[in-house]
Structure 1
Amino acid sequence: MALTCSDICKIILAVVLPPLGVFLERGCHCDLFINIALTCLGYIPGIIHALYIIAKY
């Protein structure tokens, strides 16, 4: 799967602010709320989840 410029921007945003990367990829769905909870519990789990969502979709 090839990375586009928008994917690279989403990955950078996912590292800086994980819920923003998920929001740009999936919108206001269940994944966003899961990522917000993971980011509140720990920054690294939020980043991992955001990168997973961006890679999956």
Structure 2
Amino acid sequence: MKPLTIVLNILLPPLAVFLQHGLGGTFLISLLLTAIGWLPGVIHAFIVNE
């Protein structure tokens, strides 16, 4: 994983997922999980962007 991706995964999980996968189901799931709580969004971003 690139250092920029790691930082974005932590600070802005939906943006990191969007940059890797574009608009789609994965992005919407990341957005929803981040809205529920920051930590679920971060975990999802790290799993998706491995």
User: Residue 27 of structure 2 corresponds to which residue in structure 1?
Assistant: 32
Paired residues for 1:11-30 under 5 Å: 11-30=6-25
Percent identity reads: 38
Partner secondary structure for residue 44 of structure 2: helix
Q: Over aligned residue pairs, what C-alpha RMSD do you find?
A: 0.9
Where has structure 1 moved over 6 Å in runs of 4 or more? none
Counterpart residue identity of residue 45, structure 1 = P
How many residue pairs were aligned?
50
Is there any run of 5+ residues in structure 1 with no aligned partner, and where?
none
Is there any run of 5+ residues in structure 2 with no aligned partner, and where?
none
Structure with more relative contact order (C-alpha pairs < 8 Å, separation 6 or more): 2
